[in-house]
Chain A
């Protein structure tokens, strides 16, 4: 039997997935591997009956070159954790079962010698996919992970693919929101992805010339933010845009997420567990921070506020040129890591080099905005409010 590489994509779309699949496939074919793609994480292997093509598709040169620029040929609906799969037993009891051994056996039977897994990196699942990869590797599966994230919070790589596209979308959206808010003399409070790190909020906020940007790295102080917004208004420059990362917290309650404040939403659908997943690990509070903050700012500034949540709008769409190139590089690099005998690793881009680090070193780490870095310095220099008026001069 020919040696085979399987490619899987963890849950959640980010722009550039097809570039990764194409990069890995073309590089693997040149190194004399056969390549298969597994649908929806490992669901395609464990639940072949749910797919018209049996859950696993062959990837040859023609298939790789025919992949559209946007989208993911392998789906992004993976929500089942092979270690905890919900099942109904013969006597009608619902329980969670560990099917990881069965997964490894099926991959082995299919001639799969190595797996390339795209993992990330979202507010819903945290580092879940990487943890699953880590556990599968400990059980003997040769696996190389590729980091995807629109929040760019994966510690081992300076640029996860998907981030550059999300930054572009977020900036474009913030430009429009800022202009619209100015027209109607309101203050838009816009939440962007960033449960652990404020890269997207800060970079897009700077680019869109926001009045304030609140990020998880700097707990914010409502009276200080309100003071700055009031002063801008009184000086004839009505503030129109506050950008807040999903994980930003107040100085009074650092680390405590805002309570969900909206009413009936996603969970109304019986299919909502496709959204939240059976293996997810955190409560989705998307949109809650913007709502809570908008209310507080309206109370303390007497400026009419509008909460908005970009969330999935910045996670989708056509990848930027950089993400296409980066996707190809990550895919080809993962094949090289397998060829070089470095399974159990995560690809890491540290310009100008693309290398890999052991999974154990990548787990449980977060890449955060350095408070002494150029982004924060720039914000301070131009008078962008970062949530308080003490310390590093984060206010004009």
Chain B
């Protein structure tokens, strides 16, 4: 099989992104993640397989359609409550079914997160934005989920992107075997990587796994790939990691390495909350508010001072 024919499970391709690497970029979100962060804004990216989503607003009703209420849909997966016409989902039973359920719904209320694509198919879509990359210094950013959990596909995709003159970046949480990270990093210009929490016990409470392997991977990456640019990032969650102690601990970790060129704070947002409803999952941080502007400015000033630059206004 040629490198271009390697297949990966792609969640979404998003054009004209400006927050995930230099210039105007095309973000390719891959499915599957090895963490379960409570604040995750892309819950549809977590599972390793394609999964169904349901948006009741698109349902045209049981009387007009009702195709999901009978076989081949699993017994009890979809139902209508007496006095209503819009179909509801019993997620315990719907999850048993595969992606074929999406084909049952002519209105598109049932859809599928995740599709198998080849390197060539992805790049055909990415190259549509070639003009913008050249003018802005942008390129392709692999994100997720955790893009390093599909190392063969990610490596093949980024290698081929480079062959076609496209700058490459990845966004990773780093919770993967080192071999996966190493395999992909050979083809990466910029690696955006998360420092979510410094304390391993708290890291496990909030993300599901401790961070010892993550930190070991990052350190090894800084040292093994001196010509790669690294940008550290923290999704700032009020009451979880929006404290000076964490920011200073991350700075102490990254500053000895000259190829870690920046440390960015990403204010927590709630864009993901509605997607949890579509997936039948619980959004565990629904009651959080985004961080206060003054907190953000104070913490960003600490980072600016560490990097020896004036604080951003």
Contact B282 A282 (CB under 8 A): yes
Complex interface: stretch among B17-25, B153-161, B254-262, B283-291: B283-291
Q: Mark B272-288, 1 if CB is under 8 A from A, else 0.
A: 01001100111111111
Residues in B with CB closer than 8 Å to A128 are 92
Contact A276 B282 (CB under 8 A): yes
Q: Given A94-B35, A263-B289, does the pair A283, B276 have CB atoms closer than 8 Å? A: yes
Asked if A313 is at the interface of the complex by the 8 Å CB criterion, the answer is no
Residues in B with CB closer than 8 Å to A282 are 277, 280, 282
Q: Mark A243-266, 1 if CB is under 8 A from B, else 0.
A: 000000000000100001011111
Within 8 A of A (CB), among B177-223: 177, 202, 204-210, 212-213
Residues in A with CB closer than 8 Å to B239 are 264, 268
Contact A267 B280 (CB under 8 A): no
Contact B82 A366 (CB under 8 A): yes
Smallest beta-carbon distance B182→chain A, Å: 15
Contact B82 A266 (CB under 8 A): no
Residues in A with CB closer than 8 Å to B75 are 360
Contact A91 B284 (CB under 8 A): no
How many residue pairs link A and B with beta carbons under 8 A? The number is 111
Asked if B36 is at the interface of the complex by the 8 Å CB criterion, the answer is yes
Complex interface: stretch among A131-139, A326-334, A383-391: A131-139
Most chain A CB inside 10 Å of its own CB: which residue of B56, B212, B284:
B284
Within 8 A of B (CB), among A99-139: 127-128, 131-132, 134-135
Asked if A339 is at the interface of the complex by the 8 Å CB criterion, the answer is no
Contact B76 A86 (CB under 8 A): no
Contact B277 A83 (CB under 8 A): no
Residues in B with CB closer than 8 Å to A260 are 286-287
Asked if A270 is at the interface of the complex by the 8 Å CB criterion, the answer is yes
Asked if B91 is at the interface of the complex by the 8 Å CB criterion, the answer is yes
Within 8 A of A (CB), among B59-108: 75-76, 79, 81-83, 86, 88, 90-93, 95-96
Q: Given A281-B280, A364-B88, does the pair A94, B285 have CB atoms closer than 8 Å? A: no
Closest to A275 in B: B284
Within 8 A of B (CB), among A195-224: 196, 217
Closest to B287 in A: A265
Query: What is the size category of the interface that chain A forms with chain B?
Result: 35 or more
Residues in A with CB closer than 8 Å to B83 are 217, 368
Could you say which of B207, B208, B285 contacts A267, with CB atoms under 8 Å apart? B285
Closest to B238 in A: A264
Query: What is the size category of the interface that chain B forms with chain A?
Result: 35 or more
Q: Mark A223-246, 1 if CB is under 8 A from B, else 0.
A: 000000000000000000000000
Residues in A with CB closer than 8 Å to B93 are 131, 134-135
Contact A92 B282 (CB under 8 A): no
Asked if B168 is at the interface of the complex by the 8 Å CB criterion, the answer is no
A272 and B205 CA atoms in complex are apart in Å by 10
Residues in A with CB closer than 8 Å to B283 are 283
Residues in A with CB closer than 8 Å to B202 are 270
Asked if B41 is at the interface of the complex by the 8 Å CB criterion, the answer is no
Asked if B115 is at the interface of the complex by the 8 Å CB criterion, the answer is no
Contact A93 B289 (CB under 8 A): no
Contact A88 B208 (CB under 8 A): yes
A132 and B95 CA atoms in complex are apart in Å by 12
Residues in A with CB closer than 8 Å to B206 are 270
A366 and B83 CA atoms in complex are apart in Å by 10
Interchain Cβ contacts under 8 Å between A and B, 18 examples: A92-B175, A92-B209, A92-B210, A93-B175, A94-B207, A94-B209, A134-B76, A263-B289, A264-B287, A264-B288, A267-B288, A281-B281, A282-B277, A282-B280, A283-B273, A360-B75, A366-B81, A366-B82
Please give 20 more A-B residue pairs, beta carbons under 8 A apart, in addition to A282-B280, A360-B75: A83-B92, A92-B34, A92-B175, A92-B209, A92-B210, A92-B212, A92-B213, A94-B35, A131-B92, A264-B288, A267-B286, A268-B288, A271-B205, A277-B282, A284-B286, A360-B76, A363-B90, A364-B76, A364-B79, A368-B83
3 cross-chain pairs, A with B, having the tightest CB-CB distances, nearest first:
A94-B208, A131-B92, A93-B34
